[in-house]
Amino acid sequence: MKSRQLRRSALICLVFFSSIARPALAGDFVGLCAAGNDDRTRPIPAAIVPQAIKLFALAGVDPSFVQQSTVYRCMNGAAWLCNHGANLTCAKADVSRVSKGAQAFCRQNPRSDVVPMAATGHSTIFTWTCDGAKARIRSAEKVDRRGFIADQWKRLGP
């Protein structure tokens, strides 16, 4: 009798813990964002890697690298993915129209056509140029409703 109860308890624990530890299935994953908005960026689960490869045209890239370099967040009840690149931070956008880094760069490099992101930071939405020794905004990227650079993020699913 005790042996049967012990086996039953062990089976219940096994089922419970395996359901917690299993990787998210694509459908389960999309459901995580059904509640609305969550601006935290988090690594994607392994089950989403094939979709991320397709979404970002990363055919031939090592799937483990895609998983390590792709994050998700929730916006308007949908999962949105961003794949980190050389100049992509996948973080909230810096919308400040003043850049101390650009100002310092322009003082040292007057009339430079481009202020590098190493000076401005990678999360700025602006492309900066030097007008003499003064930093000027040349162009700006669009920001989505949650404050992220819009073209860095792609919606997962329909």
36 with 78, same domain? yes
Residue 76, CA atoms < 13 Å, CB-side half-sphere = 7
37 with 65, same domain? yes
Q: What is the mean pLDDT of residues 122-149?
A: 96
111 with 72, same domain? no
Which pLDDT score, from 0 to 100, does residue 28 have?
61
Q: Is residue 70 part of a domain?
A: yes
Q: Is residue 56 part of a domain?
A: yes
The answer for residues whose C-beta is within 8 angstroms of residue 121's C-beta and 6 or more apart is: 94, 99, 101
51 with 77, same domain? yes
Map tokens 């998210």 to a residue.
24
The answer for residues whose C-beta is within 8 angstroms of residue 78's C-beta and 6 or more apart is: 30, 33, 155, 156, 157
- CA torsion, ordered 34, 38, 40, 42, to nearest 10 deg: 0
Residue 36 belongs to what domain range?
A: 23-84
32 with 71, same domain? yes
Q: Is residue 13 part of a domain?
A: no
* Number of independent structural domains in the chain: 2
64 with 32, same domain? yes
28 with 80, same domain? yes
Phi and psi (nearest 5°) for 25?
A: -80, 160
Full-model pTM: 0.75
80 with 109, same domain? no
> What's the pLDDT band for 5 if we cut at 50, 70, 90?
low
Phi and psi (nearest 5°) for 3?
A: -60, -40
76, amino acid identity: N
pLDDT in tens, 19-65: 333 344 455 666 778 888 999 999 999 999 999 999 999 999 999 99
Q: What is the mean pLDDT of residues 105-123?
A: 95
Spatial CA neighbour of 143 closest among 124, 120, 122? 124
80 with 34, same domain? yes
Q: Is residue 68 part of a domain?
A: yes
Q: Is residue 11 part of a domain?
A: no
What letter would DSSP give residue 25?
P
Q: Is residue 114 part of a domain?
A: yes
Cα distance between residue 70 and residue 49, in whole Å = 9
Cα distance between residue 96 and residue 91, in whole Å = 15
